[in-house]
Structure 1
Amino acid sequence: MTIKKHVGLSRRDTLAGGVLAGIAAALPARAATFFGQGHAVPGVQLYPLSDAVTKDLDGTFARLAAMGYRAVETAGFHGKRPHELKAAADRAGLTIVSAHIQAQLRMAPTDRALVDADLAALVDDLHALGVKNVVMPLPLLSDEIVSTIQTQGFAGLTGGVAAFTVADWQRSAAFLNQRGEVLRGAGLALSYHNHNMEFAPVAGTMGWDVLMRETDPALVGFEMDVGWVAAAGRDPVAVLRHNPGRVRMLHVKDIAPSTKPNFAGQQVSAPVGKGVVPWPELLHLARAQGVTGYFVEQEPPFATDAFGAMAQSIAYLKGVK
């Protein structure tokens, strides 16, 4: 697969790149591993393990802790109450630091949504979970798209977003700003998580750039899903460099070279370090830009199972220098 470089950098971007290069030069030599030097070990996103979390919460957390994970990001509440998730994490020596909260969709009956008129209940749940970071993993959707997803699943989502106009992306940006302000008042930071749909051309721009341009950096950050950026045919290093200071967290996800660039939610997954992403370069740039959250995730199917994929990925990351 060929990853396209991000083109059209401005003089401001060039200057920002020079500043970041200076920051990187001031970092300690890369003799030690990236996740050593007093820095936290990689975290894990629970989405690939959703079934296991639902069936055996304590067993799942114990297995992740044994692999070396210490930080966790949830995908909703996995059919559990927030205090149940936190108690299980505490027992395993894990810390839940971030939660994906859908704007509209509810993956389990106990899940809240960002479109709820009163966010007080959601805020209470997030405080009970102990998180500081909230991530909106999809754009704001029309009622028609939401209905289609209920019958067609992910295909209904990608088909609906493919028809997005600039105004649709602007609507999502306005929603993020509004919800970000409310959550900030409750001590919570809101970010947006991308797939590859955000990189589809639309009227001379793309959804990713609209969201970057029209969200307030004080209210909205980004959780860049590296695998989905690469699946769109983009170079994750170039995309990160082009948006200094906006990305707060990464989904550490790799894809196989056989992935054909697309905007339709398709990729051939690979354990981290087994695909096309230049991880040492990307991770050091991320740290220089102030990224603080690194969550391993992989899309199915898996060579063995989701636990095997998570184990392979953290084993690789522990050796990155």
Structure 2
Amino acid sequence: MSRTPKDPELASRLSRRNVLGVAAGATAATLLSGAAAQATSPQGGTSPGHGHGHGKGRAVLPPGRLGIQLYSLRDKVSTLGFAPVFAELEKYGYDEIEFAGYTQGSAGAITLSQLKRLAKDHGLNPIGSHVGYYDDNNPGAYTFAQNLTKVLDEAEALGLKHIGTASGPFRYGSTVDGWKRAAEDFNTYGAAARKRGMKFYQHNHAEEFSFATDKPKVRLYDVLLAETDPDLVYLEMDIYWAFCAQFRFGKRADGTPAPFNPIDYVLKQPNRYPLFHVKDGTRNDAARDGYD
């Protein structure tokens, strides 16, 4: 996970090479397993062990902007607990964390205040969190749709500046009108988050770039962007999944070409993308998503 620069001028200079270069950062799951890996460091160097030379030895991001989504480490968190995981992340020079839940399984109970303090003690800034969008079959589910106040209360207690979901906007189906309804939900969550001094955001997978079932020439991601208020709803682009979507959804159902480049969305509206996810993949044109 990484953040765009706060400087608007610097943000406007985002390029395909720079954004993709962040993928030099290794997954912390690999780091915790002890395998050789590289992570872009805030000082401009690299952690030891990875020899691919991405970024030519220079940090792609400014200091203090390299983080990780803790979902990648969910097995470690649920068995070892947050403390040893945070200690390992600190050792490898991570600056920020993005939560995917606030419990640690068999490691025992932990309060939000304890979790916030633990992150601070290890030099980690909790920058955001992924929470489910909806569970219409469970009225009491911990989601934005079912428990908006609780979601925001907990995010506020942790001092988060961003609170979002990695759920696709498919609550009402894959039609244009269905995504317009989902956009209304997102605008509501964004307005509520803004009142608390936070930004609501949505994290994509490949499916967001598919086409509407009722209007097969309309890409659903375009509907989401058009129907959400840019001052209320932000995007966390997962660069890996967005580029995979080029292979799955680069053609319409009738076979006509519909190419797109995900980074063009960022270059057009850089201020809507405060967060990014990056991960490595091996190019494989025979695979469904184009990568393994």
Contact 1:231 1:259 in 2 (8 A): no
Pairing 1:42–2:55 present: no
CA spacing shift, 1:48–1:186, aligned 2, 3 Å: same
- The alpha carbon displacement at 1:141 in A equals 4.5
- In structure 2, C-alpha distance between the alignment counterparts of 1:172 and 1:98, rounded to whole Å: 21
Match of 1:44, SS state, is strand
Residues 48-70 of structure 1 show CA distances to partners (whole Å, capped at 9, x for unaligned) of 10111122211111111111101
Aligned partner (choices 164, 167, 175) of residue 165 of structure 1: 175
Report matched runs for 1:109-148 at 5 Å.
Answer: 112-116=142-146, 119-142=148-171
Contact 2:283 2:290 in 1 (8 A): no
Percent identity (aligned): 28
- The alpha carbon displacement at 1:105 in A equals 5.1
Report matched runs for 1:34-183 at 5 Å.
Answer: 34-35=59-60, 39-56=63-80, 57-79=82-104, 81-104=111-134, 112-116=142-146, 119-142=148-171, 164-183=174-193
Structure-2 residue corresponding to 1:282? none
- In structure 1, C-alpha distance between the alignment counterparts of 2:11 and 2:161, rounded to whole Å: 30
Match of 2:225, SS state, is helix
Match of 1:115, SS state, is helix
| Letter of the structure 1 residue corresponding to residue 238 of structure 2 | D
| Letter of the structure 2 residue corresponding to residue 127 of structure 1 | E
| Letter of the structure 1 residue corresponding to residue 276 of structure 2 | L
CA spacing shift, 1:165–1:23, aligned 2, 3 Å: closer
Contact 1:133 1:188 in 2 (8 A): yes
CA spacing shift, 1:184–1:22, aligned 2, 3 Å: closer
Structure-2 residue corresponding to 1:200? 210
- The alpha carbon displacement at 1:126 in A equals 0.9
Residues 219-266 of structure 1 show CA distances to partners (whole Å, capped at 9, x for unaligned) of 01110010000111153333322444322211122322115575xxx5
Contact 1:194 1:223 in 2 (8 A): yes
- In structure 2, C-alpha distance between the alignment counterparts of 1:167 and 1:227, rounded to whole Å: 28
- The alpha carbon displacement at 1:114 in A equals 0.5
CA spacing shift, 1:22–1:77, aligned 2, 3 Å: closer
- The alpha carbon displacement at 1:21 in A equals 10
Aligned partner (choices 169, 182, 187) of residue 197 of structure 2: 187
| Letter of the structure 2 residue corresponding to residue 49 of structure 1 | L
Match of 1:205, SS state, is coil
- In structure 1, C-alpha distance between the alignment counterparts of 2:191 and 2:273, rounded to whole Å: 18
TM-score by length of 1: 0.60
Match of 2:237, SS state, is strand
- In structure 1, C-alpha distance between the alignment counterparts of 2:94 and 2:207, rounded to whole Å: 30
Q: What is the number of residues matched between the two proteins?
A: 220
| Letter of the structure 2 residue corresponding to residue 220 of structure 1 | V
Aligned partner (choices 219, 235, 239) of residue 232 of structure 2: 219
Residues 22-70 of structure 1 show CA distances to partners (whole Å, capped at 9, x for unaligned) of 9539xxxx9993457x632411111110111122211111111111101
- In structure 1, C-alpha distance between the alignment counterparts of 2:67 and 2:211, rounded to whole Å: 32
| Letter of the structure 2 residue corresponding to residue 134 of structure 1 | I
- In structure 2, C-alpha distance between the alignment counterparts of 1:103 and 1:244, rounded to whole Å: 24
- In structure 1, C-alpha distance between the alignment counterparts of 2:142 and 2:191, rounded to whole Å: 18
Root-mean-square deviation (CA), in Å? 3.2
Report matched runs for 1:201-280 at 5 Å.
Answer: 201-202=211-212, 203=215, 204-233=217-246, 234-258=260-284, 262=288, 268-269=291-292
Contact 1:100 1:135 in 2 (8 A): yes
- In structure 1, C-alpha distance between the alignment counterparts of 2:10 and 2:114, rounded to whole Å: 44
| Letter of the structure 1 residue corresponding to residue 241 of structure 2 | W
- In structure 1, C-alpha distance between the alignment counterparts of 2:268 and 2:206, rounded to whole Å: 17
In structure 2, stretches of 5+ residues that fail to align are 1-7, 15-54, 105-109, 247-259
TM-score by length of 2: 0.66
- The alpha carbon displacement at 1:20 in A equals 7.7
In structure 1, stretches of 5+ residues that fail to align are 1-18, 144-162, 270-321
